[in-house]
Structure 1
Amino acid sequence: MSLTQTLCLLVLPSLLNALSYNYEDYADSYYNQISDTEQQGAGTTSSPCGSRDQTRWDKLFIMLEDSHMRQNMILEACEEQMNRLREEVQSKPCMSTSPEEYCTALDQRLDRRLEAVIAEVKQVANKLQEQCSSSLQHLENFTGLQTGRLEKLENGYLGQVMMKTQQETNGGKLEQALMTTVSDLQKVHTQLAALQRVAAHRYLPSGCEMALLFPMRSKHSFAEAMVSPSLTGLSVCLWVRVTEALDRTMLFSYSSERNPQEFQLLLNRNTLTFSISEELAAVQAHGAGSAGQWRHYCALWGSEGGVASLWVDGQQVSSLSAVARGHRLPEGGAVLLGQEKSSSGMYRDMDPTVAFTGKLTAVNMWSYPLHPDKIKKLANQDGACDERGDVIGWGVSEIIPHGGVQYIN
């Protein structure tokens, strides 16, 4: 065998080992680099479509392309070396005493060596194929993991969107229901206000079942009651619902044969006034008049001390002393409700401007000043209408209406 043939046979395995060693180092180091990078990023949650994952996949595909290219280079180098050896062997004659046998042995030896080289190349190729398959499997696993993360993220996002949509839908329904409820409540409030107006128009305080209605302002519209005894003290209490009060709107007037204005309780617009025996000093309570509302008024007087007081809705609002001290109201007087007696004593001479319009109920008169607790009890709108005066008792004494005045329930 020539020196060239021997060198070729010796160099070829070394060349193959060098090529396979470099590739294995390259593949192992590159695969380990991808594994280490993935282990470092495994602890953090990132988007499956991030730039780092795209870089890993690009590197892995580049490695696979390089492996195929290197495999082709190895096969081409082996084939080139084999062709050179064949040409060299064919160009130089075998140096032997029996050339045919020597050449046959040499061919067999060369074939065995070539078979060994081919087997080694196949082994390297198989190992490379296994590494490629492992890398592909790892890539598939990694892709599946990232796909699962992507699905979780998509499902979570879709769940949040659906929850938000449902909340918005529920919020819209709730807002619509609240608006409907508010509208219904407003309608109910309007209806209640109307019912309250109707009830206030028909309502009689203190549990009374009837009232005197004064429908119009006229000198002929009044109610009359007779008083027999003489009085050195008195209390007059009544419930009043005035339609409109003018400068002098008469509520209660007591007259005698000598004096048509012995005792008067009247409204001056919104001021309640109490006078007795034409005294210059009169007891007044400002702001006591309220058109269209039921108010409870009481006027008290005692001859001994001349103390006169006004009570509105169960509370004392005004008081004076030395009013008509020692005076006595004569017997046989007359009480007019909603009007006052004229100076001539004739009904035809009454003044229509002092006439009362509205309603009166629970009109009572006592021959003494009442106790404050009794006044508070009478002023209770939800109380009983069974308290009656000893001079005029509501529902007991005869009170005669005139000129359109009538009793109502």
Structure 2
Amino acid sequence: MLTVFQARGQQPKHRSAAAQEENQTVRRSTRDENWSRTDHSMDLTKSLWLLWLPCMLAGLSGLSYDYSDYSDSYYNDISEAGKQEAVTSSPCEGREQSRWHKLFTMLEDSHMRQNMMLEAGEEMMRNLREEIQSRSSSGSMLEESCSSLGQQLDLRLDAVVDEAKQTADRLQAQCGSALQQLENFTGLQASRLEKLENGYLGLVMMKSQQDSGVDRGKLERALMATAADLQRVHAQLALLQRAAAHRYLPSGCEMALLFPMRSKHSFAEVTLPSSLSLTALSVCLWVRVTEALDRTMLFSYSSRWNPQELQLLLNRDVLIFTVGGEVGAVQAAGMGSEGQWRHYCGLWSSEGGVASLWVDGRQVSGSSVVVQGYKLPEGGAVLLGQEKSSSGMYRDMDAAVAFTGKMTAVNMWSRTLDPEQIQQLANQDGACAQRGDVIGWGVSEILPHGGAQYIS
């Protein structure tokens, strides 16, 4: 019975020192409790045995028999009268004894089962406590691992972003350096070719004068071959210049607006100062047109009453500048070169109604009767690559007037520029060096919409 009381379940493996010490303490307390229960059970059992033993002895002593004399005969007749069976009543009969024995057995079994159930419950509590401790430690370790992993990912992401920025800056610097080298090489080759032509022609003339006996036919063929070689070199240089102009931005400009497709939703909106009421202005911008249709809008200012208040647009290869809604106020033909960077400027002054058009730093058209004494109304909106609809709703815009291509160095002044300033703006070496006081490229807020985007 003591062996059963002391039976224990199988202990879990791989415990820590603190858990093992706690388990040993629990075991000692459980063992002491079991021994106390066992001692109590033994005392109870002894008390019951002591109560039962007198009853048992009294029953045995009460059983007395009287024997009669036996004769020596072979019959051994027992006298019926002499035979007396005196039975003394006992406080504990046999049936009562078996009942007490069963009661003791039941008490022992109940104590045994109770101790086993208590021990099993304590063992389950210990296992549950250890499981909770293990899971809490695992949860804290998982939280620490997640936090460490998040910090590592943040650091790695910052490093990748910094590396990408550095790579982009390095590539941009390399592209600018390569473009500058190509331009220098082109100019150097052009000057060398010019010197070579002049020098070769001079030598040929001198040779022909000194040696009159040389065959004139051979000389003419040599000159023709040299001229053909020079033409091929010129063609290659022109091809290189077109490729550079097609791929790169004007020098000094770090970004441009790209309008990749003709759509009524593709445009850029310029945020103007709160109050804008002008009697003179200058609008200048660099443009590379992919394709120009009948009305390809470059710059458009619309007021509350007139959606075509101020416009700079292309009609195929005709450049048009309008003020106050007068269509065809100033125009110049042959100015819409597709696939090449061109610099356009439109100037207007209310005093005298003077308006003029400038292309690549030179004036190509002018007029002195354009809305004389007029004042450009305030509260309007500027759109690049599109014009505002008559209803004023963006959804009613016309896709036929949308611009496709690239645009950069968009500036607007509240005065008319001098010819020297326009020539400086048209120089590709300083294309983005100056900024307007009404619209300044790189300073004013210009928001692209519908697929239009900034490129560099």
When normalised by structure 1's length, the TM-score is 0.53
Alignment CA distance shift 1:360-1:257 (3 Å): same
Q: 2:264 aligns with which of 201, 213, 219?
A: 219
Residue by residue over 1:325-375, the C-alpha shift from the partner in whole angstroms, topping out at 9 and shown as x without a partner, is 111112221110000000000000000000000000000000111011100
The equivalent residue for 2:255 is 210
The equivalent residue for 2:330 is 283
Contact 2:320 2:328 (C-alpha < 8 Å) held by counterparts: no
Deviates more, 1:273-282 or 1:393-402: 273-282
User: SS in structure 2 opposite 1:374?
Assistant: helix
Within 5 Å, which residues of 2 pair with 1:43-192? none
Alignment CA distance shift 1:384-1:265 (3 Å): closer
1:386 positional shift: 2.1
Deviates more, 1:225-234 or 1:367-376: 225-234
Say which structure, 1 or 2, has more relative contact order (CA 8 Å, 6+ apart). Answer: 1
1:202 positional shift: 2.4
Tell me the C-alpha RMSD between the 2 structures.
2.4
Aligned mates of 1:267, 1:389 — CA distance in 2: 23
Contact 2:388 2:397 (C-alpha < 8 Å) held by counterparts: yes
Aligned mates of 1:343, 1:265 — CA distance in 2: 18
Count matched residues: 228
**Consecutive unaligned residues in structure 2, runs of 5 or more:** 1-224
User: SS in structure 2 opposite 1:240?
Assistant: strand
**Consecutive unaligned residues in structure 1, runs of 5 or more:** 1-177
Q: Which amino acid aligns with 1:240?
A: V
User: Does the alignment pair 1:199 with 2:244?
Assistant: yes
Contact 1:226 1:333 (C-alpha < 8 Å) held by counterparts: no
Q: Which amino acid aligns with 2:343?
A: H
Alignment CA distance shift 1:405-1:250 (3 Å): same
Residue by residue over 1:160-194, the C-alpha shift from the partner in whole angstroms, topping out at 9 and shown as x without a partner, is xxxxxxxxxxxxxxxxxx9xxx9xx98x9999777
Contact 2:321 2:328 (C-alpha < 8 Å) held by counterparts: no
User: Does the alignment pair 1:389 with 2:436?
Assistant: yes
Contact 1:253 1:337 (C-alpha < 8 Å) held by counterparts: yes
Q: 1:320 aligns with which of 355, 364, 367?
A: 367
The equivalent residue for 1:29 is none
User: Does the alignment pair 1:233 with 2:280?
Assistant: yes
- Rg larger in 1 or in 2? 1
User: Does the alignment pair 1:249 with 2:301?
Assistant: no
Q: Which amino acid aligns with 2:270?
A: A
1:246 positional shift: 0.3
Alignment CA distance shift 1:388-1:369 (3 Å): same
Q: Which amino acid aligns with 1:352?
A: A
Aligned mates of 2:287, 2:365 — CA distance in 1: 18
Q: 1:353 aligns with which of 392, 400, 413?
A: 400
When normalised by structure 2's length, the TM-score is 0.47
Q: 1:373 aligns with which of 420, 424, 447?
A: 420
Aligned mates of 2:241, 2:327 — CA distance in 1: 42
The equivalent residue for 1:363 is 410
Alignment CA distance shift 1:210-1:306 (3 Å): same
Contact 2:425 2:433 (C-alpha < 8 Å) held by counterparts: no
User: Does the alignment pair 1:340 with 2:384?
Assistant: no
Aligned mates of 1:281, 1:363 — CA distance in 2: 22
Aligned mates of 1:368, 1:292 — CA distance in 2: 31
Alignment CA distance shift 1:281-1:407 (3 Å): closer
